[in-house]
Amino acid sequence: MEPAGFRCPARPPPARRAGRRQWRHDRRLRRSGRAGWLHLGRHRRNRRAGGKAGLIGNGGAGGAGGQGAPGATGGDGGRGGDAVVIGNGGNGGNGGLGPPNGNGGLGGAGGSLLGQPGLTGTG
């Protein structure tokens, strides 16, 4: 019996062209279930910026207020995502038509690093 978590070793890479090392072996990939051979030109492991968090995590925009008497207030914008390079807050929704018109929703707060707060909706 193989030990728990045992995986067959990755098959060796395709034949290399003379003088060019196109494949690199990485033991750390075994645990993630992928083969341990990385193509030096095509794999994206070293090109990913920002780790697992996305680079931009914007909050969603608030919905517009409904028409009425008085008009409904616009929805508030969502908060920007944290642990990202840019996490902008969502814009607030516009107030609904009246009379009188509803107030615009508040803009969402920015994320932790460079996030800008969202714009307040118009009344």
For the chain, what is the mean pLDDT? 62
- Domains held by the chain: number: 2
Is residue 72 in some structural domain?
yes
d(CA 81, CA 114): 10
Q: Which of 3-12, 55-64, 81-90 has the lowest mean pLDDT?
A: 3-12
Integer-rounded Cα radius of gyration of the chain: 26
Is residue 71 in some structural domain?
yes
Is residue 11 in some structural domain?
no
- This prediction's pTM: 0.42
For the chain, list the strands marked E by DSSP: 23-25, 37-39
Q: Of 69, 63, 66, which Cα lies nearest the Cα of 106?
A: 63
- Residue 63 sits in the same domain as residue 85: yes
**Amino acid code (one letter) for 45:** R
- Residue 60 contacts residue 54 (beta carbons within 8 Å): no
Quote the domain boundaries for residue 71: 51-123
The answer to whether the peptide bond before residue 12 is cis (omega within 30 degrees of 0) is no
Q: What is the pLDDT, as a whole number, of residue 92?
A: 72
d(CA 102, CA 61): 17
Is residue 7 in some structural domain?
no
Q: Of 107, 40, 43, which Cα lies nearest the Cα of 76?
A: 107
Residue 66 has pLDDT above 70, yes or no: no
- Residue 75 contacts residue 62 (beta carbons within 8 Å): yes
